């Protein structure tokens, strides 16, 4: 977000309000860490490695459960989300180091 604030040096109350707004924006947006973003960009090789790791984890999970050929847990969105969340920061760092 970009914002333009016009300051009137004759309006002391307006200057104080502008300072409050700037401080609020700085507190909200100024302390972000480079890994904060929930959006990642990565190449085909990283995606292939991620899918391969997911397949290995799914197979390992299936081998641990003898009662069902394909566990309902593996088909769930939660299983996939848990897998991606565990590796998200690693993907973000890989993108930053290869850029």
Q: Where are the domains of the chain?
A: 1-31, 44-98
pLDDT recorded at residue 64: 78
Give me Rg for the CA atoms of the chain.
23
Please compute the mean of the pLDDT values over residues 6-18 and round it to a whole number: 90
Contact 70, 62 (CB under 8 A): yes
How sure is the predictor about 10, in pLDDT bands with cuts at 50, 70 and 90? Answer: very high
In sequence order, what DSSP letters do the residues of 40-90 get, joined into one string? ----HHHHHHHHHHHHHHHHHHHHH--S-SS-HHHHSHHHHHHHHHHHHHH
Q: What are 15-65's pLDDT values in tens digits?
A: 999 899 888 888 777 666 555 555 666 777 888 888 888 888 888 887 777
The CA-CA-CA angle for residues 49, 51, 55, to 5°, reads 115
CB atoms within 10 A of CB 87: 14
d(CA 54, CA 81): 11
Question: Over the stretch 85-99, which tens digit does the pLDDT of each residue have?
Answer: 888 777 766 555 554
């Amino acid at each position: 977000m970009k914002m333009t604030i016009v300051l009137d040096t004759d309006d002391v109350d307006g200057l104080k309000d502008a300072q409050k707004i700037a401080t609020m924006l700085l507190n909200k947006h100024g302390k972000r860490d480079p890994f904060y973003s929930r959006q990642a960009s990565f190449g085909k090789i990283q995606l292939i490695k991620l899918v391969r790791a997911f397949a290995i984890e799914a197979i390992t999970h299936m081998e641990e459960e003898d009662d069902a050929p394909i566990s309902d847990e593996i088909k769930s969105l939660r299983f996939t989300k848990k897998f991606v969340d565990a590796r998200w920061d690693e993907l973000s760092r890989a993108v930053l180091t290869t850029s």
